[in-house]
Chain A
Amino acid sequence: MVGLVVVSHSEKAAEGICEIAGQMGGGDARIEPAGGGPDGDIGTSVDRIEEAIADADDGDGDGVVVLVDLGSAVMNAEVAMEMSDSNVRIADAPILEGALNAAVEASGSKATLDSVVESAEEARDYRKLN
């Protein structure tokens, strides 16, 4: 199964998004939070992201999709990816909607790394009004 990692500047936000996506997106999705800086302060941390990628990867070779919030989250996720042995991709999507979409797709039996990234990125076009 494709694993998911949610990288946010806030530890609480990352956990909360995982909670929402996990519950609304289907209970089976493997979704791990990686929020906060090295000391748990506001920021992002390569080590935390790397750990979450390892936790989200169940070793079946399906890979891991990373959702990020802003700025340094992308850079730190890229470094963690380079250090990781897992097959990892970053989805260019709004973090909450993207995580939710990705969780729905990842719970399906035919999900692939590509299809999960694609589902997450569909969330870019969502509008909240109209």
Chain B
Amino acid sequence: MADAETQREAILAAVENVADRIAEEKSHLTDLDSAIGDADHGANMNRGFQAVVEAVESDDVDEMSPDDLVKLVGKTIISNVGGAAGPLYGGSTMLASKELEGGITAETSVAFAEAYLQKVQDRGKAEIGAKTMVDALVPAVHTYKKSIEQDDLPPLTALSKAVDACERGVRYTVPLRARKGRASYLDWRSVGHQDPGATSTLFILEELLETAEEHLDGEVVRDARSPDVPDESPEEAADEPLDEEGE
């Protein structure tokens, strides 16, 4: 795929796009979180991603390999996002960055996505249906993997389908009763509210797609977002660990 320099530029552009989006959606995320959480998700995520923007500006990123740059992003999120979001978003990014050691390719990006999901599940111990970011992440990662490995689609098309699957996952959280996190204390009162973590996960993926579209000329597939239901149901998918080797 692209050389290290281009990949670095793409990662920096992604960081900026995600940070801008989170800043824009700050009160939206906090509104979602005030219904079923502790009303700090927007502020927390915004503080984290603003810190990431500062970190990549101040650190000597010119010499960094793509995986080290992604690792820096994860580490900065861990240090600056309080609550469970720090370990879940930052810790998983940091761990999964190892998969990008050879640079970002279709294969390594699938490995990254799988490692990220695995870490989120290990750390948060949430299953599908517990009304968490896992409900959005599982369909997104499975769709991405299937699109690349089975359907042999170009990465951009695969990512586009993953965003679509993620969006359906976010909607799927609305009727659920929360079984994890602060929302689980509300029990039935959590029904009817969209999960904030699933929502911010979607925003991040949308911005990654947006960035990838800008940085992968000629590979844009505009009709990619037509519904294409994955082969396995989310429940079945949750039973099979994606990555046997894990960490």
Residues of A within 8 A of B (CB): 37-39, 41-47, 71-72, 75-76, 78-79
Contacts and interface: CB of A to CB of B under 8 A. Distances in A.
Interface string B77-99: 01111111111100100000000
15 contacts: A38-B47, A39-B82, A41-B82, A44-B83, A45-B86, A46-B78, A46-B86, A71-B84, A71-B182, A72-B82, A72-B86, A75-B86, A75-B91, A75-B124, A79-B86
A37 B78 CA distance: 11
A75 B182 CA distance: 13
A38 B84 contact: no
B189 interface: no
B46 to A, nearest CB: 12
B87 A38 contact: no
A38 B82 CA distance: 6
A47 B87 contact: no
A43 B87 contact: no
B181 A71 contact: yes
Contact of B87 (A37, A41, A42, A79): A79
A75 B87 contact: yes
B123 A75 contact: yes
Interface of B: 38, 40, 44, 47, 78-88, 91, 123-124, 181-182
**Dominant secondary structure of chain B at its interface with chain A:** helix
Most buried by B among A37, A41, A42, A72: A72
Most buried by A among B79, B82, B88, B181: B82
Contacts of B82: 37-39, 41, 43-45, 72
B80 A75 contact: no
Most buried by B among A44, A47, A79: A79
A39 B44 CA distance: 10
Contact of B84 (A42, A45, A47, A75): A75
Nearest to B78: A46
Ranked 5 nearest A-B pairs via Cβ: A37-B82, A43-B82, A72-B84, A75-B87, A72-B83
